Amino acid sequence: MNKRNVFYWILYDFANSISLIIFYLYYSQWLVIDRGLSDLVFNLIFVGSSGLLLLTAPVLGLMADKRGLRYAYLKWITLGSYAFYLSASIIAMYSSVPLWLAVLCYLLANYFYLLSIVFYTPFLRDISPPEHRGFISGLGQFGNWTGQIAGLMVCLPLLMGKAILPGPAGRVQTFLPATLLYILLSLPMITLFKPPEITTARKDILLNDSGKGFITNCRELLQVPGIGAFLLSYFFFSDAILTISINFPIFLNRVWGISDKVKSLIMLQILVASALGSILFGWIGDRYGLKRVMIWVLSVICISLPVIATQRNFIGFNVSLVLFAIFFGAIFTVTRALLTKLCPNEKLNFATSFYVLFERFSTFIGPLVWGSIVTGLAGFGSVRYRWAFGVMTVFVVFGIIAAMRVPNEKDGKAAVLIPEK
């Protein structure tokens, strides 16, 4: 195991999480609260980025598998995310720029971030032996959460201080510094990482596979035991989790009416708990089985969501959030490690494109449901946000039902067609 590669892989997750959290937390509020964008249109940003991903990710993932160019694709896609995060940051500094341009740049920045995950995640199989894959996945997810923590801590003084960049004081001051930190810290992954050499056997597989059509590859992927059920489960529960994530800053503002400083402190406690959960459950998944732990985690999330939605006491709300965050941090650690065990190596990029695609395709439904509830029930005040939050529980229940059909990775049903090195 190349420890430098592991470090660069984790650092990349750390880096892109800095811009991710600042844009999720503050760009969302800048668009909806400061610039008056409707909740429904805001959610359509994520529907649009998901639509682009639906059109491109499977094809690009398949091309990367055939040509063995996963690392090259990751480089170019990361450069694309640099461009649009920078553009969105600069646009926010100038009120004279049309709002639709800010929306478009944010949509494309989100799209390139998502697309990068298609090519980043499969490197988990290259940098980690099977027996430690859950733990290394947990380290990567730990990097994700700690990157978000670092982003909030670095940008909090900018949020609370005077304007030092063009534009008003407050939220706008955080976008460009977060983007520059992302660029600086992600560069080692796209410049110093050493991708594994493609063996002769691997080249033969790629050449034999290159004549297959897209539909044939889809059919073969879904014939791998457990992949279909896994992706369906992932579709449902990620729908709930991601819809809540992108709307959570607005939920805090509308339901609790708290300041940006308090929101940042709440997010910090959530992220610390999530980081601990990602490490803990990566180890637990290796010890007790990733599929089994996945169902445990989803069951706790299913209970947590209605509890959080109905809390009227702020202290109780905070305690519920921290408990939820531990399992929120765990779920993506466990699922991406499970994917690498269920899927044969020669289809891992293609499978990962569907992993990310199912996650984002679910955001066609969740944000539309959320946006329709809070827009259609405008006369009900802040309680409509509680209802939207609680409805997400239904999606998690369906995710648990589908997860029960995924084979345990220890029972020999999960297909691995290429021997592990």
Contact indicator for 282, 134 with CB cutoff of 8 Å:
yes
User: Which uninterrupted H or E stretch holds 357?
Assistant: helix 348-361
In the chain, % of residues over pLDDT 90: 35
Tokens at 310, concatenated: 């109905």
The residue among 227 and 78 whose pLDDT is bigger is 78
Work out whether the CA dihedral 89, 188, 356, 354 comes out positive or negative. Answer: positive
CATH of the domain at 24: 1.20.1250.20
| CB contact at 8 A, 392 and 244 | yes
Q: Please, what is the angle between helix 227-251 and helix 39-67, to 10°? A: 140
Q: Give SS3 for 344.
A: coil
Q: What is the pLDDT of residue 346?
A: 64
Q: In this structure, is the dihedral angle defined by the CA atoms of residues 404, 239, 127 and 22, taken in order, positive or negative?
A: negative
Could you tell me if residue 412 is inside a domain?
no
Q: Is residue 408 part of a domain?
A: no
- The pLDDT value recorded for residue 419 is 33
DSSP 406: S
Mean pLDDT of 92-103: 91
Compute the distance between CA of residue 42 and CA of residue 33 in angstroms, rounded to an integer: 11
- Is 265 inside a domain boundary? yes
Each residue's pLDDT tens digit, 312-349: 999 999 999 998 999 988 888 888 788 878 877 666 66
Task: Decide: 117 and 53 in contact? Cβ < 8 Å.
Answer: no
Q: What is the largest CA-CA distance in the chain?
A: 65
The reply to whether 47 falls in a domain is yes
Which two structure tokens, joined as six digits, stand for 89?
């940051």
Q: What is the three-state SS of 155-178?
A: HHHHHHCCCCCCCCCCCHHHHHHH
- Average confidence (pLDDT) over 348-374: 72
Q: How many domains does the chain have?
A: 1
Give the tens place of pLDDT for each residue, 180-239: 999 999 999 999 998 876 554 444 444 454 445 556 767 777 788 888 899 889 889 988
Q: Report whether 228 contacts 222 (CB < 8 A).
A: yes
Angle formed at CA 353 by CA 348 and CA 354, multiple of 5 degrees = 100
115-127 per-position pLDDT tens digit: 898 788 778 778 8
- Per the confidence metrics, is the pTM higher than 0.75? no
Give the structural domain span for 145: 3-192+201-403
Q: Could you tell me if 81 and 154 are in contact, meaning their C-beta atoms sit under 8 angstroms apart?
A: no
More confident residue, 281 or 188: 188
Q: Does residue 298 belong to any structural domain of this protein? A: yes
Residue 410 domain-assigned?
Answer: no
Q: What is the mean pLDDT of residues 279-284?
A: 84
Outline where 23-130 has alpha helix (H): 28-29, 39-67, 70-92, 99-120, 123-127
User: What's the number of CA atoms in the CB half-sphere (13 Å) around residue 148?
Assistant: 25
